[in-house]
Structure 1
Amino acid sequence: MSIVFHQLFLMLFPYSKNRPNCIASIKAVPLQKRKEMITAFQEYLTKHKYTHFDIKAVLFDMDGVLYDSMKYHSRSWYQTMSEEGIDCTPEEFYLHEGRTGGNTINLLIERSHGRQATEDEKERIYKRKSELFTLYNDGDTIPYAYDMLRAVKEKGLDCILVTGSGQPSLLGKLDENFPDIFQKDKMVTAFDVQHGKPHPEPYLMGLEKGRGLKPNQAIVVENAPMGVESAVAAGIFTIAINTGPLDEQVLWDAGADIVLPSMKVLLDNWTDYCFTLGINS
């Protein structure tokens, strides 16, 4: 390891008891990726004035991170809003992903009609959208999502769910699709927050449900610009997994610390991330 990388490593992890193992692991990472990884961690610490990471939990979004469901959300939203006579495109709902249903409806009503949506409109429109989503959704999970969740648990870390969704058809299947991963008292859904993503409230609540964690004690795994903005606003290191049709630059622009093309790439690099962050089982 070069002197520069060694100095960066010491700055990142001055208290690591397993520093030699960490350094050995980093040597296995290609030089450019090693540089990008360490730079991202160092820039986060510098920006937030932390001396080191002390990771206790990983906060996961649901749609597009655990479930391959965004194409069905997009289709359901597009059909519902078109039935309401509102001009929209299927693609734009990938940009709205992470907002609560009520906030999404209000945004489009305001854009189309120049006024706020009524509570009756929100309830009626969201009910229709939910019916369509239940009809279309096949319940497929993101490839390697369960493997990633288990890898996190094996390191002794908590898995905390932070989603803008209120879809019973998915929330009710978490235990079935991802057994022994999530606890009900460590889940944040659309029903728990006043402000949805991109407001920081969902991820701040996720930290609180992790027994009062500080931002440098968690990592967020997101896939949507709104979710990335929410996590970054909460001050948490954010890894974006680009599982949808958006250009990855959209996720960088939202403030992601690292952008990866798939959950498999995150899983493949997880051991290196753990060593670099001082996470040991």
Structure 2
Amino acid sequence: MKEIIQQYLEKYGFEALCPKAVLFDMDGVLYDSMPNHAVAWQRSMATFGIEMTASDAYATEGARGVDTIRMMVKKQQGRDIDEQEAQRMYDEKTRQFHLMPEAPIMPGVLELMKQIKDCGLQIGVVTGSGQRPLIQRLLNDFKNYLAEEHITTAYDVKRGKPNPDPYLAGLKKAGNLKSYEAIVVENAPLGVRAGVAAKIFTVAVNTGPLPDESLIKEGANLLFADMPSFNLQWNHLFHQIYDLR
């Protein structure tokens, strides 16, 4: 693990990795919600004549919903639609999603957050969603670890993942931190690409059906099979980081 951290530092010319915050993605990381999202995407887009598969939903996870819709419409119908039309379509996706059963908190997350807090680090969330009910649920479920001012949503940026903007906004909300002062936790290729583009040490947790390679090729610094595995390794990672300082 020390070698991986050292490679990260050398890549960007940083002297040390000095984490003050951990920035979590939401869907597929904090909640086991991606199966619900996949169904909601398929059902809602079908009403607009757009074929969207479960694989499409996982592959585009992390991007702003309106950006995904504009891309799919252009690809399948050859039309350029504005953000307002895309938002109306996304509203239907939101409606379908809220008809689904409530997604459970991802196993291992609460334990991991407790360890992070005990280490004196701040916790933030960087999500491509902007749905108020989901933000309120975050605040209810993680009230001991998360404050609203540390949540970055689709409405905080003009360019969503895979651009670095969401995680750069997350750094700003965490107290104008530098890239080497945070750790990103992601489960999706576009999210990993965004974290890496922001030059943040990025941990991928493969909680979905995509192959590990889809996360590794985007530049993930570390890869875990699930959140409990990352939870078990947190203290080791934290001490390895500080051994190199």
Structures share a fold, TM > 0.5?
yes
Question: What does the per-residue CA deviation read over 1:126-151, in whole Å, with 9 as the maximum and x for residues that have no partner?
Answer: 11100110111423110011111111
Residue equivalent to 2:128: 164
Residue equivalent to 2:242: 278
Q: What is the CA RMSD across the aligned residues, in angstroms?
A: 1.2
CA drift of 1:258 comes to 0.7
Partners of 1:56 and 1:194 in 2: how far apart? 26
**Which of these residues, 75, 83, 87, is aligned with residue 47 of structure 2?**
83
Residue equivalent to 2:76: 112
> What amino acid sits opposite 1:205 in the alignment?
A
% identity of equivalent residues: 40
**Does 2:100 align with 1:136?**
yes
CA drift of 1:40 comes to 1.2
Partners of 1:88 and 1:205 in 2: how far apart? 30
**Which of these residues, 132, 143, 149, is aligned with residue 185 of structure 1?**
149
Residue equivalent to 1:203: 167
CA drift of 1:153 comes to 0.7
Question: What does the per-residue CA deviation read over 1:164-193, in whole Å, with 9 as the maximum and x for residues that have no partner?
Answer: 111233211112211221111111001111
> What amino acid sits opposite 2:127 in the alignment?
T
Partners of 1:232 and 1:120 in 2: how far apart? 30
Partners of 2:111 and 2:81 in 1: how far apart? 41
How many aligned residue pairs are there?
A: 243
Alignment partner of 1:138: what SS? coil
Residue equivalent to 1:71: 35
Contact 2:28 2:208 in 1 (8 A): yes
Alignment partner of 1:278: what SS? helix
Alignment partner of 1:147: what SS? helix
Residue equivalent to 2:91: 127
Normalising by the residue count of structure 1, what TM-score does the alignment of the two structures yield?
A: 0.84
Partners of 1:242 and 1:265 in 2: how far apart? 11
Question: What does the per-residue CA deviation read over 1:214-257, in whole Å, with 9 as the maximum and x for residues that have no partner?
Answer: 11111100000000000000000000000001001100011111
Alignment partner of 1:191: what SS? helix
CA drift of 1:123 comes to 2.5
Greater Cα radius of gyration, structure 1 or 2? 1
Contact 1:69 1:137 in 2 (8 A): no
Q: How does 1:255-274 map to 2 (within 5 A)?
A: 255-274=219-238
Q: How does 1:204-223 map to 2 (within 5 A)?
A: 204-223=168-187
> What amino acid sits opposite 1:219 in the alignment?
I
Partners of 1:120 and 1:218 in 2: how far apart? 34
**Does 2:8 align with 1:44?**
yes
> What amino acid sits opposite 1:71 in the alignment?
P
**Which of these residues, 58, 61, 64, is aligned with residue 97 of structure 1?**
61
> What amino acid sits opposite 1:101 in the alignment?
G
Contact 1:106 1:116 in 2 (8 A): yes
Contact 2:20 2:181 in 1 (8 A): yes
> What amino acid sits opposite 2:150 in the alignment?
K
CA drift of 1:120 comes to 4.1
Residue equivalent to 2:209: 245
Deviates more, 1:199-208 or 1:166-175: 166-175
Question: Which blocks of at least 5 consecutive residues in structure 2 are unaligned?
Answer: none
**Does 2:110 align with 1:146?**
yes
> What amino acid sits opposite 2:239 in the alignment?
F
